[in-house]
Structures are given as C-alpha cells and as structure tokens.
C-alpha cells in the first residue's frame, strides 16, 4: 500500500506537509499563491493560435479536429463548481455538440491543491482512451475522495476500478516529470491566459469564468454555429 511519505513525494515540487495533504482544507490553503501563479490582468478574449500552441502536456481532445468551435476548459479536480458542470452541462455538451462534430473540447489541468494534482496525474496515467473516462469518474465521485481524510486510499480504489494496479498507481504518483508538467500547464494558464479560478472556459477564444448551465452554453454556441 502506498504510504503518506511516498504519496507526498510523488506529487512534485509543491511543498506541503503530510498533515496538510491528508486533512483536506480549502483550495486557498494550497492555491495559486503558494504555487506561485501570477496571472496577468483578465482579458475577455485570447488569440486562438496562442491558446492552441503546444504546452507541457499534449492536449486530450474530444471531437472532430476540424469542428467549427473549440472549447478549452481549465479545471481543478477538487473544484465543486467544476464537478457540477461535468455532471449537469457536460453531458449535454457532449451529446449535442461534441458527438455531432460541432465542438472540439479540451480539458486542461489547473489543480488548486495537491490532491487535485494527484487526480489529474492518475487521469494522465490511465492509458490510451481512458483519460476522459477517468476524469468523468473522478468528478462523479468527487465527494468520496476529494474531502476524504485519506485521499490516497480513496484514489487508489478508484484507480483500481479503472484497471490500474497498485504498482502502477504508485509509479504514477511518484512520476516527478509528470508532476512538473501538470504544474507547467497550470502556470501557463495563469500567466498567459489570466486564469485565476475554476472552471474557466475559452469558447473560440472568448473567456468565460464559472460553470455554465446548458442554457448558457447554448446561448454562447448558437451565434458561432449559425455563422458556419
């Protein structure tokens, strides 16, 4: 079984005590200030070429490559508003827009605490075609692991359900390179695109902060799709 020391060591450069890790506090306890994110003033739109430029980790893309609309979401796996979006609006987004070739969707890592970082690492380690199924499971079960007194045990149980062995789980969370790359994705989001909260969306470059309802999503997408 993975112990607290190894779990902490496997999560990269963020300096936190084991007590802080295993007593889950508010995101601010581990958040942007401690990790050193310094965002520029919030912009209403960003250049799509800059937004889609390759980052530290390859984008996990859902939908047709040539879809007329691209949605990029920056999320934290322990963010309640992110989980609510993925439980309520995301199924509509996927069925109505992604699966029909109208929208290309990309989720990018913006962990607000070390447990969220661990969850993203597990999603990256899940294997080909399993990133989004793991993300879906983690959001659906967020209350069971994100606010658990022993998140390592809870995450291990979820990883095993996804076909990951305990050895693979340990190896994943001790991957210093991956930990650093997750940090870099988030740092880029803060510094280049002004991300300072989750969820934050870019719809063809237009920045929208906060979880959208299905109706709000429809309202944002309608003029973009009608123009094509």
Report the DSSP beta bridge partners of residue 71: 105, 203
Could you state, in order of their start, the residue ranges of all structural domains in the chain?
27-222
Q: Distance between the two ends of the chain, CA-based, in angstroms?
A: 53
Which of the four CATH numbers 3.40.640.10, 3.40.50.720, 3.40.30.10, 2.20.25.90 does domain 27-222 have?
Answer: 3.40.30.10
Interior/surface letters 120-138, b for 16+ CB within 10 angstroms, e for the rest: bbbbbbbeeebbbebbbbb
| DSSP-based three-state secondary structure for 6 | helix
Query: One digit per residue, pLDDT tens: the chain, 228 residues?
Result: 334 344 444 444 333 323 333 333 333 333 443 333 433 334 489 999 999 999 999 999 999 999 999 999 999 999 999 999 999 999 999 999 999 999 999 999 999 999 999 999 999 999 889 999 999 999 999 999 998 889 999 999 999 999 999 999 999 999 999 999 999 999 999 999 999 999 999 999 999 999 999 999 999 999 999 876
Q: In whole angstroms, how far apart are CA 88 and each of 9, 72, 81, 214?
A: 35, 17, 10, 8
How far is the C-alpha of 111 from the C-alpha of 109, rounded, in Å?
Answer: 6
Whether the pTM exceeds 0.95: the reply is no
């Amino acid at each position: 079984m993975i112990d607290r020391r190894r779990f902490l060591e496997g999560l990269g450069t963020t300096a936190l005590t084991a007590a802080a890790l295993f007593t889950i506090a508010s995101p601010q306890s581990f958040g942007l200030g401690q990790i050193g994110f310094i965002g520029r003033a919030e912009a209403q739109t960003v250049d799509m070429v800059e937004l889609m430029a390759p980052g530290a980790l390859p984008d996990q893309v859902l939908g047709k490559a040539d879809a007329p609309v691209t949605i990029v979401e920056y999320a934290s796996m322990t963010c309640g508003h992110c989980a609510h979006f993925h439980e309520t609006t995301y199924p509509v987004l996927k069925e109505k827009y992604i699966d029909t070739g109208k929208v290309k969707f990309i989720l990018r890592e913006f962990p607000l605490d070390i447990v969220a970082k661990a969850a993203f690492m597990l999603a990256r380690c899940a294997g080909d075609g399993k990133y989004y199924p793991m993300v879906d499971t983690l959001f659906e079960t967020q209350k069971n692991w994100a606010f658990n007194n022993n998140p390592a045990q809870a995450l291990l149980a979820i990883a095993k359900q996804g076909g990951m062995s305990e050895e693979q789980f340990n190896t994943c969370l001790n991957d210093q390179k991956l930990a650093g790359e997750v940090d870099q994705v988030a740092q880029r989001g803060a510094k280049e695109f002004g991300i300072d909260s989750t969820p934050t969306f870019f719809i063809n470059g237009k920045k929208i902060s906060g979880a959208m309802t299905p109706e709000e999503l429809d309202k944002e997408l309608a003029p973009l799709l009608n123009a094509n």
